Structure 1
């Protein structure tokens, strides 16, 4: 089976490319192996993936067989949520490590703190590991992947550090707690409903090493959004350690950068990421 995704303005569809690539692969197998490969679109043993960006085409084998960005713990969600893979990437781009104290003051349904807790525990977030496509490949038939996954999922309960998740909306906190319980990390995260202007009463001065969050953004109420950002960076200046960082992801960074500059924060890293067809910006600030 061949799957295709393209981010181009070319006049062809993914389905057209899948047919062409499939025919090309079958013809090559026929020429080199002297037999015609059968195709099973419903239950394929091997999935080829074609990715086209601008003038470049990448061909690979899908070792997974399903979307790794989907998280089974994410039952209670919000429209503004980011995918678990993007939340994890945000943490790693910011240099997050298990010994660092983390705060997400816009936690919504809890994706960022949950991904941090799973990373801290050494957990592999693959509840569907038995469905991996590479398990059907002949070169791996003799491998003991059960032991492999058990080793990766071995819990390390030593030297746990603070992972704090807060939000101004109580229903967000309730959703985040439920998701964390499903992910089996609810005991590793401190949840609380806290308004931004009260963060300095919740945490000690210079207590937090990293703030990672997706702040609320509304293009229909820019004045209120700007006020929220000003309150956030004012509080962050107090609770963040001297070498601490702030890693933010948003559809627009302009107002966030303005508020950060007022408090003397400097930009250390910027990235563009895509969630489906939605463009998101990542910016890392330092004291």
Structure 2
């Protein structure tokens, strides 16, 4: 990534560790800032709960934190949240479903083990989604896993990630004797990641869902300046129903983020063995399905 450049570049990395000295706001000497990041941006998403009638657009902000877990195995842990605000001018859902806007909160916590020198690495995370849905609130839960092999060059990685629903919810339509069931979408995907020599990385994936739909997507992280980076993600669920009926069953999510790395130059975060392995959940990594009204 940037081996041998320490001292020869204004934002250079140390090759033998992950301490960086003082930096922006004088925070880089504190251990808890080394793998701390704040992010904000814009997003769009759509899924079966939108009944094929509404797409969601808005802004979001959040935090992701990683640190050593302790013990002899080199484990790290991470916690983070993502607050999502959409549909500021209303929506196109059914009239009796309407609210002024839609708010979501994602919480993520996990453990992981990285292998910076090459080899196998893995992680497990738990996600909670509280969704201020069109006509009521829902709480959905899922578990994500990731396992991969990092080639000795440190520039290429192949792996698998999955998302498995562990908590569904029913929404009662207030004032009407009707309800709908929501559940997380199980996802299984294989990916290829390329780390860039000057920092950052990009990844492409393909896979399928637990209901036989297709899945394609990708993400990219590009450093800009000393402590900032652009991070973009997209995920698209290809419905097995095809054209027509599939319009109400497709899911997609897009997220554009500006990220501030508090305790490391943005081009050097790959050097840390305790950088969070998982992005905080959002509508690209936590999709949901609905079975209609009853």
More helix by share: 1
Q: Which has the higher contact order (CA 8 A, sep 6+)?
A: 2
Q: Answer yes or no: same fold by TM over 0.5.
A: no
Give the TM-score band, short-chain normalised: under 0.3
Q: TM-score, normalised by structure 1?
A: 0.26
Instruction: Determine which structure has more spread, i.e. the larger CA radius of gyration.
Output: 1
More strand by share: 2
